[in-house]
Amino acid sequence: MKEADQKNAEAAGLTLISYAEALHKGKEAGKQTFDEVTGDTYYTFSYTSGTTGMPKGVMLTHLNFVANIGGMNHFDGEFELRDDDVYISYLPLAHVFERCLLVCAMGYKMMYGFFQGDVLKIKEDLAVLKPTIMVSVPRLYNRFYDVMQQKINELTGYKRTLTQWGIEKKLENLTTKAQTTHTVYDRLIFNKFKEVLGGRVRIMIPGSAPISKEVLEFLKIAFCCQILEGYG
């Protein structure tokens, strides 16, 4: 925990404790009596929107959530979750996708922050939190794509030519080598796009609905990171 965070919390009249300290306090409190929990115990009810009829309460067990969290261990390389990762939470907490992500963040001791409640100010929240992991729905990713395409179309002269060269080269490398970074073009062009997300994002995940291949591939090279689609 950073000393600056402690001071900011005190100034706001809050008491800030670390995760390790919370565990220690729990041990100090001694053994507590709780109802027995098994994998088949219901953890939460998740209600559908009702777009296909009456809303339905889906009964989800502890095993449902633990299986999702444990499954994250089966990914190698760039998808490895770390305890220094930062996750921004902005999806509705009533959404089972977001509930699973928050439990996952706690399970892997990731840091997470909540947006201020206004989707139109998400850019401000990204600048403050500087997340390393970004999870969202295609609607927001499509908005990012549209804004970036607009900025590119406004370019003229050598800036437009250089940007087109960079896009073509990075798309080629993405297709042939699965590379999302480029030593030269990232420094000249794409790091500016990456700063929109706070400059540190290394994993992005779209879920809940399909996203077009064109948008997906462009965002990979623009944000210089892997984007993995959630399914199921």
Structure confidence at residue 149 (pLDDT): 95
Q: What pLDDT sits at residue 77?
A: 60
Give the DSSP per-residue string, the chain.
--HHHHHHHHHTT-----HHHHHHHHHHT---------TTSEEEEEE--STTSS--EEEEEHHHHHHHHHHGGG--GGG---TT-EEEE-S-TTSHHHHHHHHHHHHTT-EEEE--S-GGGHHHHHHHH--SEEEE-HHHHHHHHHHHHHHHHT--HHHHHHHHHHHHHHHHHHHHH-----HHHIIIIIHHHHGGGTS---EEEE-SS---HHHHHHHHHHHTSEE-----
Question: Tens digit of pLDDT for each residue in 195-213?
Answer: 999 999 999 988 878 899 9
> Is pLDDT above 70 for 192?
yes
pLDDT of residue 1: 67
Hey, what domains does the chain have and what are their CATH numbers?
A: 1-33 (no CATH), 37-74 (no CATH), 76-232 (3.40.50.980)
Residues 1-40: pLDDT tens digits?
Answer: 678 888 888 999 998 888 888 888 888 888 878 889 999 9
